[in-house]
Structure 1
Amino acid sequence: MERRSFLKKASVGMAAGAVAAPAIAQSAPTIKWRLASSFPKSLDTIFAAAEVVAQHVKAATGGKFDIQIFAAGELVPGLGVLDAVKDGTVECCHTAGYYFIGKDPTFAFDAAIPFGLNSRQQNAWLWEGGGMELLRDFFKDYNIHNIPCGNTGTQMGGWYRKELKTLADLKGLKMRIGGLGGPVLARLGVVPQQIAAGDIYPALEKGTIDAVEWVGPYDDEKLGFNKVAKYYYYPGFWEGSAQLSLYINQKKFQELPKEYQQILEDACAYAHLEMQARYDIKNVNALRRLAAAGTQLRAFSKEVMSAANKEAFAMYDEYSAKNPKWKKIYEPWKKFRDDELLWFGVAEKSFDDFVHSTRGGKR
């Protein structure tokens, strides 16, 4: 992929596409695609990223390239979208790679892994650190062309019926958690459950599960978790950022005119930026409302964080020893992460720490 070309074109927004639209409308074919989302329409920020892509693509092609969006369950189940794209049942889907770690834990690099990258570091890895090339090579085996399409930023650590006072409180805890956070917590005694968004609240309400993590204040409030669980923990150390992606059937992508391919890439880049901007705005007031309604905010203890960190990297080494696909991405990814932490620890962290100390006008 030509990363710099991607970024240069994305930086001018869809203005360039809009200028080209009349010429495209005269000569290019009419194409209709179906997009299957892993998310319900009620989660308007995360679901909307796919709508943003469709709107920009349609506008930039003078209506010639039309992508119809289907919420989770309307065409295929939310967790069945990858296979639907791979097999050509639908042309594309909007989802999170870590939903498919049952096929291969390597999928998680396209979303988040515990104690991994924040959203800025993830973007740097993808577009300048070799990550996109590594992921594109991995996804070829699944007949998929992947494009980053959204990020939530660092997520919360979830809702718990009981307070977590010691590491022992994790033993036997039944928790809905996605991605590699589940296997890591399982090593600490948690019983992880993979449950799609629409089914989480009933499971928590009925006591089928004891805890749940989803995204953050805005989405969690919409799903009503605060009504049945009192304690809200942070941070979601398994998701220092959580990237969403557009997965496209490889053959269908290759059949697109080159102009359409670029417009689609650019539209995803716009949606990628917009999603986190929306969450960064909406989470603020949602967190205030939750706290005012009685939610008890708690930070994970150093004991829990340290134990989870140790188990995470032990697990990654085990994956590397038995999974060549994981190892091929993990080794350069790990070096990139260590280098980024060195840089972010010099300027970014010191700036953030001081600014936070002055919040509310304090000096």
Structure 2
Amino acid sequence: MDLQKPPEPRHQPEGCLVVAVRLPVRIVVLVLVVPVRMVWDVLVVAGRLLRDTVLRPLGRALRWTGRALFVWPFVALWRYLLVPVGRALAWLGRVLVVVPAVWFHRYVLTPVGHALAWVYARVLVPVGRALARVLKGVGAVLAALGLGVCAALAWLVRYLVVVPVRWLYTWVLAPVGRAVAWCARGLARLLGLLVTGIGLALYWTARVLFVLPALALWRWVLAPVGRFLAFVAREVGDALGHAWRIAGRISRAAGRALGTLFRWIFVEPARWAYRAVLTPVGHAVRAAVLRPVAAGMRAVGRVTREAVTTARDTVRQARAEFRRMLFGTPRQPAAVDRREPVAPGTRTLGRSTTALTKD
């Protein structure tokens, strides 16, 4: 691990022209950028507030609405209609098309194919071989007959066509072609020399008339002007960045000041009024009005519930009396012997006998 600090880059000394250009540019740019940066910060804050309070809930509502209107119906359509219909169609296709096709291939096409293959191997192939042997013999006979005719024709073509054409090419056409090629090479060299001379003349003319003035213009005019413009553009860019950062600090300071002023003017008085005025008044109202009213309401509710219970019991008794008056006393159910000892015969703590062991 290197514990030594890397050497800091050395800044070259700047001339007075650089300082004279940099300071006015930064001042002008700062004056122009501060309002823009403050407007930008206000727009950013407003955009964030609009996004958090309006756009995001609206987006969620639109997403839910889109799902409810488009996604869920299509999912239900796919799940409960298209998939069962597709499965039914697949089953029908398998039963009506695939199974018959497999049966037809297995029990019709395959036997027919085997039969055709047997016919090809056992009948057509031997017949074809026999025809090939016959045709080969006929061709051999025809070739033997045509050899003599071909030899005679070849001798006539050799001495009537090939030998005169070879003599003409060797003693007439070849010398004439060599002479024409030598003349063409000489003419090409002459034309090459003429073109080279004209090209050199045009090159030096263009160099003197165009290239050297353009090079001088670039070297002594355009390059210095370009360097100056690049320097100005670089300084303007640096000034914009510096001014944007300073404007951001100014904007934040102004925002904090406005926030503090808003808190002192509105928030702190409202908080003081809530703590010093509204809270004691609310406690007093709660102690003097709300609690007695609530106690009275609870007492009224309790009395009302008791009255309702009493009225319900009275109505129930009156209905029972009316039913007894009309239909008489209901018959009591007969006692059923459950094979259980009565009270005197049950086991007690003072005796060891039970109802099953006593006489």
Return the structure number with greater relative CO, CA threshold 8 A, min gap 6: 2
Question: TM bucket by the smaller chain?
Answer: under 0.3
Higher strand share: 1
TM-score w.r.t. structure 1 length?
0.18
Higher helix share: 2
Larger Rg over CA atoms: 2
TM-score w.r.t. structure 2 length?
0.18
